[in-house]
Chain A
Amino acid sequence: MLELLGSVIVLVGSVFLFSAGLGVLRMPDSYNRIQTGTKASTLGTILVLLGLAVLHPAWAWKLLMLIFFVLLTNPVSSHALARAAHAIRVGEADSTVIDRLEESETRERTEGRN
């Protein structure tokens, strides 16, 4: 029973990982690719590790530590990547309508001038 539960969790996790890969291929611009590549792969990795923890309860603490590090590092690195892409003016898809980072930077620049 526990084995079945663990396997199902791992399977669900790998579905998310698959969708992350698909998103990287299919999304229109860098920012969207970063977004799918981060959100879906973070959840997918966490689910796979959780499933492994159910399958091997003896490893549970180590796997929880791994989940903690994935949660800490994956979003931060994607955030830094996206900001770097924005800083060197990597183009957005035409369908993008809101760019809050650009807005806030423009505001800072005009406020700095006044």
Chain B
Amino acid sequence: MVKRLIILLTLVLLAVVFSDLLLNYIESPVLSPLGNYYAANGPAELGAANLVTSVIVTYRGLDTLGEVTVLFISAAAVGLLLGRREADTDVAEPRKPASEIVQTAAQLLMPLVFLFGIYVFINGHLTPGGGFQGGAIIASGVMLLLLAQPHAAISRSLIGITESLSGFSYVLVGVLGVILAGGFLDNRIMGLGQFGSLFSAGAIPIIYILIGLKVGAELGSVLDRFRSSGPGEP
């Protein structure tokens, strides 16, 4: 009873807070000066057909590096916390194998899921999506693999090497921006190419490929950690 009352009270309070936001929200008819600058000069300056990407990867590139770092630290913390428990439950109880339907579908779908993830982060500077989304899609492919084969061997050293190398190269590309172009993470270290084509927008596709690999490896390793330290059969 008390619990229900608290839930109800919370809901009412949330409604009050959000109704205030909703009723007093006035959409600004003009872009803010900063947004206006991005919209007016972004395509010509950086050569990316997807304006959002040029803001995320170049204008606000340092923030993105911070986000990647946050994700890295979370993945490392998960590894630290769940890796210890693994020693206790080393001999896991045998699990029920996945059904034939799931196994067959996983065989068929996994390459397609990986392909789609790679497509999403390679085309990040042209179409919606990018490194984080592509990486998450790749991790969902790993999830599918773990669903179909709970005991599948995933090479942790391969994941570690992929992750470290892509993170290191990301920072390296950023430093190259300081040396060859206008500043840290400046994408104009190489030619901007034809606007709207696959090989365009300077270093943006390279950075997004690196972010995609890194995010995919990190989320994949988190999923792998949860698998190997799970309690097995309930």
Q: Chain A interface (Cβ within 8 Å of chain B)?
A: 69, 72-73, 76, 79-80, 83, 87-88
Contacts and interface: CB of A to CB of B under 8 A. Distances in A.
Contacts of B147: 80
Contacts of B112: 69
B109 A73 contact: yes
A76 B102 contact: yes
Interface string B69-108: 0000000000000000000000000001011011001001
Contact of B105 (A76, A87, A88): A76
A72 B109 contact: yes
A79 B99 CA distance: 9
A41 to B, nearest CB: 18
Contacts of A76: 101-102, 105, 109
Nearest to B95: A87
Interface of A, secondary structure class, is helix
B234 interface: yes
Please classify how large the interface on chain B is, using the bins under 10, 10 to 19, 20 to 34, 35 or more: 10 to 19
Given A72-B108, A72-B109, A80-B147, A88 B234 contact: yes
Nearest to B106: A76
A83 B101 CA distance: 11
Contact of B98 (A72, A80, A88): A80
A80 B102 contact: yes
B101 A79 contact: yes
Interface string B97-141: 011011001001100100000000000000000000000000000
| 9 closest A-B pairs by CB | A76-B105, A80-B102, A79-B101, A88-B234, A83-B99, A87-B96, A76-B101, A80-B147, A76-B102
A59 to B, nearest CB: 15
A76 B99 CA distance: 10
20 contacts: A69-B112, A72-B105, A72-B108, A72-B109, A73-B105, A73-B109, A76-B101, A76-B102, A76-B105, A79-B99, A79-B101, A79-B102, A80-B99, A80-B102, A80-B147, A83-B99, A83-B102, A87-B96, A87-B234, A88-B234
